[in-house]
Amino acid sequence: MTSFRHETLGSKIDRSKVIKFEFDGRIVSGFEGDTIASALLANGVRLVGRSFKYHRPRGVWGMGSEEPNALVDVLIDGKSTPNLKATTIKAREGMVVRSVNVSPSAAKDRYRFMDLFNRFIPAGFYYKTFMALGWDRWEPMIRKMAGLGRIDANNQPPVDSPQINAECDVLVIGTGPAGLAAAKAAAEGGQKVWLIDEAQDLGGSLRWRGGTIDGKDWPEYAALSKEAVLKAGGKILLDTTLWGAFDQHMFAAWQRFTSSPDLHWRIRAKKTILAAGAIERPLWFANNDLPGVMSAEAAMHYLVCYGIVPGTDILIGTANDLTYPIAQAFGNAGVNVTLIDQRQSGPELQGVRHAYGVKLTSAEGHNGVTGATVDGEYVSTDAILVSGGYTPTVHLWCQSGGKLDWQPEIDGLVPRPGTSDMIVVGAANGTYALNAALKEGHAAGGGRGRAPKSVLKQNPAIEPVRPDPDLKGRQWIDMQNDVTLKDVSLAASEGFQSVEHLKRYTTLGMATDQGRTSNFAGLAAMSAITGKSIPETGTTTYRPPFQPVPLVTISGRRRGDLFNPLKRLVLEDAHRSEGARFREYGGWLRPSVYGVGDETTLAQEEAMIARSNVGIFDASPLGKLEVIGPKAGELLDFTGYVRMSTLKPGRARYGFMLAESGIVYDDGVVLRLDENRFIVSASSSHVDGVRWKLEDGRQDRLGGKGVYIHDMTSAWTTLTVTGPKASELIAGAGIELPALTHMSVSETKFEGRPLRIARISFTGDKSFELSVPSLHAENLRNRLSGALAQFGGKWIGLEAVMIMRAEKGYILIGKDTDGLTMPHDLGWAGPREKRTDEYIGKRSLFTPEGKSNTRKQLVGFETLDNNPLVTGSHLVPVDGDRRSLGYVTSSYFSNTLKRPIALGLLENGTGRIGQVIGCFNNGEIRMAKVIGPCALDPEGVRLNG
Partner 1 sequence: MQAFTCPFCGHRDETEFHFVVEAGKPRPEPSEEVSDEKWAAYLHMGKAPKGEAREIWLHITCGLYFLMTRDTVTRDILSSECLLEASE
Positions that interact with partner 1 (CB under 8 A) = 165, 246-248, 250, 266, 268, 660-661, 692, 695-696, 699-700, 703-705, 838, 842-844, 846-848
- Give the Cα separation of 717 and 713 in Å (integer): 8
Shorter beta-carbon distance to partner 1: residue 123 or 627:
627
User: Measuring CA to CA, which residue among 711, 639, 390, 689 is closest to residue 520?
Assistant: 390
Question: Minimal distance in Å, beta carbon 247 to partner 1?
Answer: 4
Nearer to partner 1, 26 or 558 (CB): 558
Least separation in angstroms between CB 713 and partner 1:
15
Bridge partners (DSSP) of residue 594 are 580
CA dihedral 881, 886, 890, 893 (to 10 degrees): -20
Q: Which is nearer to partner 1, 244 or 392 (CB)?
A: 244
| Residue in 360, 353, 356 with CA at minimum distance from that of residue 379 | 360
Min separation Cβ 164 and partner 1, Å: 12
Question: In terms of CB distance, is 378 or 692 closer to partner 1?
Answer: 692
Nearer to partner 1, 25 or 401 (CB): 401
3-state SS, residue 285: coil
Compute the least distance from the CB of residue 829 to partner 1, in Å: 16
Rounded CA-CA distance 380/369 in Å is 9
Cβ distance to partner 1 smaller for residue 375 or 837 = 837
Q: Nearest 5°: phi and psi at 754?
A: -60, 135
* Secondary structure (DSSP) of 348-381: --SS-EEEES--EEEEE-SSS--EEEETTEEEE-
Instruction: Please name the helix (run of DSSP H) or strand (run of DSSP E) that holds residue 438, with its range, or none.
Output: helix 434-444
User: What is d(CA 255, CA 263) in angstroms, rounded to the nearest whole number?
Assistant: 5
Instruction: Rank residues 381 and 639 by Cβ distance to partner 1 and give the closer one.
Output: 639
Q: How many helices and strands, by DSSP H and E, does the chain display?
A: 25, 52
Nearer to partner 1, 257 or 846 (CB): 846
β-strands 874-876, 886-894 pairing: antiparallel
Output the smallest distance, CB 622 to partner 1, in A: 21
Distance between CA 460 and CA 405 in Å, rounded?
19
**Smallest separation, CB 842 to partner 1 (Å):** 5
Q: Which of residues 339 and 840 has its CB atom nearest to partner 1 in the complex? A: 840
Element (H, E) at 396: helix 395-399
Q: How far is the CB of 871 from partner 1 (least distance, A)?
A: 31
Closest approach of Cβ 248 to partner 1, in Å? 5
Min. distance of Cβ 837 from partner 1 in angstroms? Answer: 9
Residues 6+ apart with CB under 8 A from 86: 35, 36, 37, 40, 48, 60, 67, 70, 71, 72, 97
Beta strands in 794-935 (DSSP E): 794-795, 856-863, 874-876, 886-894, 899-907, 916-921, 924-931
Q: Which is nearer to partner 1, 423 or 438 (CB)?
A: 423
Report the C-alpha gap between 201 and 132 in whole angstroms.
Answer: 53
Closer CB to partner 1, 449 or 848, in the complex: 848
CB of 655 to partner 1, least distance (A): 19
Give the other-Cβ count within 10 Å of 270's Cβ.
12
Nearest residue to 619 (alpha-carbon basis) of 740, 717, 724, 729: 717
Task: Give CA 311 to chain center in angstroms.
Answer: 43
Per-residue DSSP letter, 131: H
How far, rounded to the nearest angstrom, does the alpha carbon of residue 406 sit from its chain's CA centroid?
34
> CB of residue 699 vs partner 1: minimum separation in angstroms?
5
Name which of 370, 361, 314 is nearest 342 in CA terms. 361
Contact 410, 390 (CB under 8 A): yes
- Measured CA distances, 161 to 13, 158, 548, 552, 767 (Å): 29, 8, 16, 7, 48
| Nearest distance, CB of residue 419 and partner 1, angstroms | 13
Nearer to partner 1, 782 or 854 (CB): 854
CB of 561 to partner 1, least distance (A): 20
Would the CA dihedral through 697, 703, 707, 712 be positive or negative?
A: positive
Instruction: Tell the smallest beta-carbon distance from residue 591 to partner 1 (Å).
Output: 30
When the beta carbons of 47 and 245 are compared against partner 1, the nearer one is: 245
Q: Which is nearer to partner 1, 833 or 881 (CB)?
A: 833
